[in-house]
Amino acid sequence: MQVLVLENSPLAPVGHFGAWLEAARGATLRLQPGPEMPADWAEGPLPEADLIVSLGSPKAAYDADAWIATQRRLLTRWIAAERPVVGICFGAQMIASAIGGSVAPIGTFHEGWMETQEAPSALWRGPWVRWHGDHVAVPEGTEVLARSEDTIQAFRHRRALGVQFHPEANAGCVGAWLGFTPAERLAAKGLSPEAILAQTRERDGSDATRREALFTEMLTLIGL
């Protein structure tokens, strides 16, 4: 399996998901920095890949950067061609905007390990790491798989799957995110950076079976 990984920020690598794709599916990962995407991907031949994975970013899907417009157009064409794609956090928001949905600020931030209130199973309920301040609306015909705190946390449209939470995130990722997150904002929710990081380090190992089961379901949902 050839996997095109759109790494939209060095702060949000493919992490556990990439390691699982290589080990469990024999995947070859091709990393493409999102901000350096070829401009002709907007209208030229589709990239050679069996799967696209679009990852997180501090940027927003509604920002005016040229590379974001290029990626949106690529995903619109890829999904219309019935090709499989997984989007995580910013990547999920890019899928939503590519299929005719919308993305907007929540007015607050989801941070740390959180359970999903409405989920198809305990596996999807989590808890999983969240780190986002935007939410999506999706067009008619999109299957909403999970919701929490008035936000869509997972959805499927054709062979595109978007998840707002971060099953791919490891302690390295979360440590980087804590570095730019105001400690006082976390404290107002009763959270501490040290506790979140310690929990993530522990779950890097203890959650492996649960995480891999989720990755398997994610790919099954898009026909892989």
Given a cut of 50, the residues of the chain with pLDDT beneath it are: none
157 catalytic per annotation: no
16 catalytic per annotation: no
Task: Please tell me the predicted confidence (pLDDT) of residue 131.
Answer: 97
7 catalytic per annotation: no
- The answer to pTM > 0.85 is yes
Contact 87, 163 (CB under 8 A): yes
Residues 6, 86, 81, 79: is their CA dihedral positive or negative? negative
Q: What is the pLDDT of residues 157-196, one digit of tens each?
A: 999 999 999 999 999 999 999 999 999 999 999 999 999 9
Widest pairwise Cα distance in the chain: 49
Q: Which of 7, 16, 168, 173 is catalytic?
A: 168
The three-class DSSP label of residue 85 is: strand
Q: Which two tokens stand for residue 160?
A: 């595109």
Q: How far apart are CA 161 and CA 38, in angstroms?
A: 23
Q: How far apart are CA 71 and CA 214, in angstroms?
A: 26
Q: What is the pLDDT of residues 20-30, one digit of tens each?
A: 999 999 999 99
Q: Which of 132, 135, 157, 166 is catalytic?
A: 166
Delineate the domains of the chain, giving CATH numbers in brackets. 2-169+208-221 (3.40.50.880)
Q: Which of 7, 16, 89, 157 is catalytic?
A: 89
